[in-house]
A and B are shown apart, each in its own frame.
Chain A
Amino acid sequence: MRMLTLGRDGPAIPDVCFGTMTFGRQTPEDEACRQLDLARERGLIFLDTAEMYPVNPVEAETRGLTEEILGRWMAARGGRGGLVLATKVSGEGSAVIEGGSPMIGRARLRSAVEASLTRLGTDHIDLFQLHWPNRGSYHFRKHWSYRPGTDAAGLRAHVEEILAEAQALIAEGKIGRLGLSNETAWGLAQWIRAAEERGLPRVASIQNEYSLLCRLFDTDLAEASVMEDVPLMGFSPLATGLLTGKYAGDVTPEGSRRARNPDLGGRITPRVFEAVAAYRGLALDWGMDPVVMALAWFRTRPFTAIPILGATTLAQLEQQLPALETTLPEALVAAIDQVYRAHPLPY
């Protein structure tokens, strides 16, 4: 693994993050602890969670359970030393927050930080992310019918309010830095501009979906990421399991995410299985596990792209670990580019 810095002056992080969103739902707590132990042993010390986890499905009754499991695990292992913790405040409209989660404002940001600190049993969150923008976005398949909003002034006022509160939370030692998620290129630019013009903290990351099958980040967002020095944390790097091949032939294994979410959030489309077969075939031609190829590919991107690994079972995590030390040959990267041209954006 390559080591990076969180933000411009933050803690060192590996170029792979470990996601936890199934802990407490599809992944029982004892299994989650075994995964966390293995991850830490292998240097996966950058952990990502959210106040609304676990999934799937997200339910009010279980909201916060994943953070609590992380907190109990850290307490049982002698504390959070050496770990870098990232979590998120839910955006507007989530039914898991009593009364429906409100728009993210100053008070909501602060109360969410306090609640996450309590559940995690810690006094410091390294990266506190806005799970999705107040104004909505085109992610989660909304790009098929995206209609941009027009309230630029409202967004700028919101950005300044949140950054000012984040600055106070940083000064209080409660968070290290702020991060974005499910953002757009224009949105990211507004956050950076406000920080620089007002002397407020810069956002340290942007967490959007990214994988061989979902490459919306590759153009305008990639440019914004490089120019503004804001790395991508890519969620669903295995395309919610599609790239493992377990759904090949349009099957639905028992206990899988698809058993709970039949179209995988709009990712099952007429073209997706052909694309999956092409990438898997390519990996096998090179004698490589398709899972490892899909994850190691992140290191070949012309911007900093940190995959967020996720696993329901310990065996699934073990299968992904070789990617930590894998570098793809240039010829394989070129071949991946050809598959992409033949099977562009299947969803």
Chain B
Amino acid sequence: MAKIIVVTSGKGGVGKTTTSAAIGTGLALKGFKTVIIDFDVGLRNLDLIMGCERRVVYDFVNLINGESNINQTLIKDKRCEQLYILPASQTRDKDALSQEGVERVLNELRESFDYIICDSPAGIEKGAQMALYFADEAVVVTNPEVSSVRDSDRILGILQSKSKRAEAGLEPVKEHLLLTRYSPERVKAGEMLSVSDVQDILAIPLVGVIPESEAVLKASNQGMPVVFDQQAAAGLAYMDAIGRLLGEEIEHRFLDPQKKGFFQRLLGATA
């Protein structure tokens, strides 16, 4: 039986899709059979970041409407044996996802996968609520700034009141805080909230801190999840976060400003 993990944030553009791709790929690299579902119907970003946009034939809405079956619709990743993508429809809107339809698809996927990663759309409305409804765990993606923290707080309130687990009185959705686009230099300069500022407000366990990194942009442009780039701090930080998600105890790194060596400075090395 698969575990369902929603990647959510409230606020848009904070790194949900980047994170879904990284976590999904990382889990698959660790040997777990994983599928990443794009709940952002109408926008469809996940397939771009995963580099499989040209292989999309059927999508999530087709599957829900019975116009295709699971085997036809899932896209198997070419780099990683255990990894599958369920793309969103580009031509429909979020109303095309019915709760019964989503539940039916998730139940079917649950049988054969270890992890189901749900990439949520932005917002706190229907689309985001659909993505989190069936979740067992939630990765709440937050940027170190006030409005993102506020929206994460709201989405945590929704997880606690409007998820299936909450409604059925089951054990609550397990919450993980993932701080992304963290820049220790800017925190030090007082331009960004620090890890402890954010933790103080949200009061949920910290699963990882992903530094602001040009490698992320490069990776998404190449359709290559950043965890493949083990030279990049962001890729390493995501692998650490995945380890913690699996229950390993791993110390946080990349929290302090980097001391650049002479040669690094000379070469203009990136984070």
A and B: partners?
no
Residues of B near any A CB (own CB < 8 A)? none
Residues of A near any B CB (own CB < 8 A)? none
